[in-house]
Amino acid sequence: MSRPVAHHRTLQVALLLALAAAGAAPTMAARGGAVPGLERATRTLAAGDYAGAVRQYDQILSEFPGTTEARFQKGYALEKLGDFRGAIAEYEATLRLDPGEVRALNNLGFLLVDRAIDLPRGERLLRKAVQLNPDFSAAHDSLGWAEYHRKNFAQAETLFRAALEKDPNNLPAYYHAGVMTLKRGDYARSAMYLRKLVERDPRHVKGLMGLGMAYDRLGNKELARQTLSRALKLVDRSSAPGQEIVRMLNELGPYFPGHSLDRFLTAGQQRTSTLLESPAPAAGRGDGLRGTRAAPTPIREHRGPPIDFRKQPGEADPRPGDNRESAAAGQRRLATDLVRRHLELARLYAQFELYKDAASELETVINLEPASDEARQARDLLPQMTQHEEITQEARLGGYLRMGEALFGRQADEEAKLQYQKVLLTDGTHPVANKALAFLNVRSGDLERALGHVDKALAREPRYLEALLIRGYIEARRRQFDRSQKTFALAASLAGTDSEVARYAADMSDRMKRFSTLE
């Protein structure tokens, strides 16, 4: 996790010198004011040449080992190079020279917390930094991050807000507050924090990724796509962040029936053609929708080989005319397929912090095939699921929504429906869950059920763009062209003037008007 150093994670020369006076005040020689080469090393560090800066600090410290500023700055340079052990050693050495150096207290405390090395000590160091300098915004932010790790979420947000009151441009505080509220399922507040972050730093890739995710969870896939596309332009697609952004974009899936945005592909993938299909004016059920589906979401842990019905290694081919062996093999594979699926679902539930649901799936695996390798894995995982604390109802609903999206991306429509139905058991008019169920029922051809869900979504959120597009599509399929034309016209007016969704809705409104005239 990124962390604050000084106030903004950047070490400008003037800022370093100003902050040097913020802690205890040893002699200028100890601070480094009269040490030859320190100013040049500081400029090298500020320019981003961390390896070069480390070499210069080593030279300085070989002659002046008691220079606090050189120790602190070397620690920061090592941290930027990913040498966290070396950084911790230098911050410790800085504090031995000056126990009241608030920047070293902050940086060391944050590393101990964020790297899960020593949470209690890290918290003590951060509290000391806040006590020594109550106006030090970065220390409030870091202490908030420690409270977040302790699951003291209300106190964490209070500290993030305090950090921002003391420094409205503290980018890490916006990011940490946005991440915490996003993981807690408070997507509106998360979007507020992350929007302020990217307004101040339009090239903050992680901030854009988090904001895109928040928009997605709020049901605004158009804004999510635009935000994630901005992030993708800032990175190499073949890099780890680039591949993650590509995955997130693909998981957005189609916006509404009959519409498919061009999929985002990683480097080396061949781009496939896509279709922008119009709803057929003919009535009927069950005729499939064309378009590109979202890429599957990987199950990250212990995923076995793809499940298929091919011959297992060492298994004899069935004799011609003898179906008994192949039938038995088929039943065996079906049983294996079933327990694997339950195991995958358990891991997916755990990924979204739905630990009770994960435990239920693991128990199902154990009961179905007690002697299987999958049951062994389930027994190993079950204690981890049961030791977690119960999450809030809001977080649980958010988990079900994300689980539904992930299953939709894996083309597991029936299992995705189940997650959205779990949301409706608690909140029967939840607009996002009802919209998603409307989409899935349209795709399976059940227009009546789809219309019921989309009506519930719009009753609660009359300006819900995606729900309006689905309703317009259903009305067209039911040959209610006048209604469909008005619905698409309203959607076009809500979507703005310069977006793909607005153009689609306006085009569909014109088509429905022509169909109505022909009727």
Q: Please state, in angstroms and rounded to a whole number, the distance separating the CA atoms of residues 439 and 416.
A: 11
Residue 327 has a pLDDT of: 63
Mean pLDDT of 401-415: 83
Residue 9 has a pLDDT of: 37
- pTM for the full model? 0.52
For the chain, what is the radius of gyration of the CA atoms? 28
What residue type is 271 in one-letter code? Answer: R
Kindly tell me if the per-residue pLDDT of 376 is higher than 50: yes
Residue 134 has a pLDDT of: 95
Mean pLDDT of 422-441: 90
pLDDT per residue as tens digits for the range 30-79? 454 568 899 999 999 999 999 999 999 999 999 999 999 999 999 999 99
Q: Please state, in angstroms and rounded to a whole number, the distance separating the CA atoms of residues 325 and 311.
A: 11
Residue 404 has a pLDDT of: 87
Residue 328 has a pLDDT of: 62
pLDDT per residue as tens digits for the range 239-291? 888 888 988 887 775 544 444 333 333 333 332 222 222 333 333 333 332 23
C-alpha of 477 from chain center: 36
Kindly tell me if the per-residue pLDDT of 514 is higher than 70: yes
Sign of CA dihedral 131, 133, 134, 140: negative
- Answer for the pair 346, 374: CB distance below 8 angstroms, yes or no: no
Q: If you classify domain 392-519 with CATH, what class do you get?
A: mainly alpha
Residue carrying the six token digits 């000056």: 98
pLDDT per residue as tens digits for the range 192-221? 999 999 999 999 999 999 999 999 888 788
**Number of C-beta neighbours around residue 268 at 10 A:** 7
Least confident of 159-163, 287-291, 445-449, 489-493: 287-291
Which residue in 166, 213, 216, 219 sits closest to 194, CA to CA?
A: 213
Kindly tell me if the per-residue pLDDT of 408 is higher than 50: yes
Sign of CA dihedral 82, 85, 90, 91: positive
Residue extents of the structural domains in the chain: 301-309+322-391, 392-519
Q: Please state, in angstroms and rounded to a whole number, the distance separating the CA atoms of residues 465 and 462.
A: 9
Which residue in 306, 307, 326 sits closest to 316, CA to CA?
A: 326
Q: Which residues of 38-73 are buried (b: 16+ CB within 10 A; e: fewer)?
A: beebbbbbbeeebeebbebbeebbeebebbbbbbbb
Give the residue with greater pLDDT, 323 vs 449.
449
What residue type is 370 in one-letter code? Answer: P
C-alpha of 212 from chain center: 8
CA angle 45–193–299, rounded 5-degree value: 85
Q: In the chain, what is the straight-line distance between the N-terminal and C-terminal CA atoms, in Å? A: 60
Kindly tell me if the per-residue pLDDT of 113 is higher than 50: yes
Q: What are phi and psi of 73, to 5 degrees?
A: -70, -35
pLDDT per residue as tens digits for the range 443-477? 888 999 999 999 999 998 888 888 999 999 999 98
Average pLDDT, the chain: 79
Q: Please state, in angstroms and rounded to a whole number, the distance separating the CA atoms of residues 189 and 157.
A: 11
Residue 108 has a pLDDT of: 96
Sign of CA dihedral 103, 106, 111, 112: positive
Residue carrying the six token digits 């009753």: 459
Q: Count CA atoms closer than 13 A to 108's CA, side-chain side.
A: 29
